[in-house]
Each structure stands twice: as structure tokens, then as C-alpha cells.
Amino acid sequence: MTFAQAVTDRTRRLQTRLCVGLDPRLSEYRDLDALRSHTLDVLEATAPFAVCVKPQLAFFEALGLPGFTLLEEVCAQARTLGLPVLLDGKRGDIGTTAAAYAQGWLAGAHAGDALTVNPFLGFATLTPFVEAARANAGAVFVLVKTSNPGQDDLQGEGVSERVAAEIARLNAQEAGDGYASVGAVVGATHPGDLARFRAAMPRALLLLPGLGAQGARAADLAPAFHSDGTGALASASRAVQYAAGLDVVAGREAARTLRDELNAALAQA
């Protein structure tokens, strides 16, 4: 299955829309061994409630070579658990550099099933990423309207809408009428915009970051989904991995609660 098919199938079978983010912060642990064990334990404990897992590449890169080794372990364990892997790297560059990023993160030894990408060097920079995603049954998630308060500096005045239109154009190139390979990042912190972006990109999966630590509420996210409850992945990282310090059981229960809150929001919509 493609990434889009896999997460949609998992949504329907397990009734979950929660994307569990992994942000292994070295400052939280006594050493690298503790970081590794806790990260893998959280992954396993939360898998039953997750539609996919989202490792934040910055935290793995910050660890140097041990971080890349851990990333490969995370990806391998996620696949054993049946969890699609969405790498959060926000990569974006031009020409051969963009192609190298696409090769490394969508087809290489550290590859995930999907990758977040930055379109703000121009739409042509998306081409290598989209081609790699399509060739490997993967996906890219293009930044449209991010969850941070300062996003309006560059994403206002119609810019986000132009990116959304380009995503819709790219997805229209793909056969069929299901979700296509180009998704969109639309912050869960912008609930008033979700219905508009959902309508603008009907074949795009929406990644909704910002649950928990950034203040977004599951109860507000129903407009991001299609009427059958598919089409969006609501992401929480710190609110799960560090729900109560390094308590893995608390992380598992936080994931369960968020899954249930998302389901309740859709039931009431």
C-alpha cells in the first residue's frame, strides 16, 4: 500500500487519527542509553492508538551518529508494529540538493514512508520530493499554514492559499480519486481555517501539528476531516512522549485519551 492508503486503512480499522510524534531530547535523560530505551518504549506503548509515528529529525540529528542509528531502529520497530513512518524534517532546496534530500529521506537507508517539505524556495523545488514519494509509494507533506504564532510573517496575504492550490494541482495528476501522494501541513492551532483548506485540497491528507504543548484542542479539529472520518492526522509529541516526565504508562494513556478525544469530536460534528 501507499502511505496514504496505509494510514487511511489504519484509521478505519483502529479508529485512530492520532499521529504520535517522537522528539527525543537529550536534556531529559541521564545518558544516550536511557534516551534510546525510553524512545523505543514510548513507540511500542503508544502504537495501538497511533495512525502513524512522526520522528522529528532535528532531535535525532542533534545526537550525531548515535541519533541516526536510533532513527533506523525507530523506523524498523515502527514497521514491525505496522506503523507508517512520517519523518518531520521540513526539507527544501533546489536542484540536485533537493534531489539528494529526497533520495536520503524517502528512498535511502534512513528513509521514512513520508517526509515534511518546505515549498518556500519555489514550487519547482517540490518536484524531486514528489517524484521520490511517488516512486516509493510514499508521501510528502508540504508546509501550508504552520502551527507557530509567527507563521503569518510569510504565510499570510494569500501565500498559504497559493501553496494549497499547487498541492491540489499536483494531486490531480495522479490517477484515481483517493488520497494522493502530496499532503499538507496545516496547524491544529488554526481551527477556523481547517474547513477552507480541507475543501481546497480534497485529495490531500492534512497533517495537523500542535495538539497538547502548543495549545490546540482535539475538540476543534473535525473540519479537517472528510465526512467518513478520514483525511487528517492530528499530531502530538511532547504531550505524549513526556506526558508525565519519563513515565511510559502515562504516555500510553495520553495517546489513548487524545485518540478518544479526536473520535468524540468527529462523533459530535
pLDDT of residue 126: 97
For residue 266, count other CB atoms closer than 10 A to its CB: 18
Instruction: Give the phi and the psi of residue 86 in degrees, each rounded to 5.
Output: -110, 110
CA distances from 71 to 29, 54, 209, 238 (A): 17, 11, 20, 18
Tens of pLDDT along the chain (269 residues)?
999 999 999 999 999 999 999 999 999 999 999 999 999 999 999 999 999 999 999 999 999 999 999 999 999 999 999 999 999 999 999 999 999 999 999 997 779 999 999 999 999 999 999 999 999 999 999 999 988 777 876 777 788 999 999 999 999 999 999 999 999 999 998 899 999 999 999 999 999 998 877 788 999 999 999 999 999 999 999 999 999 999 999 999 999 999 999 999 999 97
Q: Identify the DSSP state of 205.
A: P
C-alpha cell at 143: 508546509
Taking the C-alpha atoms of residue 208 and residue 216, their distance in angstroms, rounded to an integer, is: 9
Q: Which of 17, 36, 54, 90 is catalytic?
A: 90
pTM of the prediction?
0.95
One-character DSSP codes across 89-133: EEE---HHHHHHHHHHHHTSTT--SEEEE--TT-GGGGHHHHHHH
For residue 250, count other CB atoms closer than 10 A to its CB: 15
Taking the C-alpha atoms of residue 4 and residue 178, their distance in angstroms, rounded to an integer, is: 9
Please name the helix (run of DSSP H) or strand (run of DSSP E) that holds residue 150, with its range, or none.
none
- Is 90 part of the annotated catalytic residue set? yes
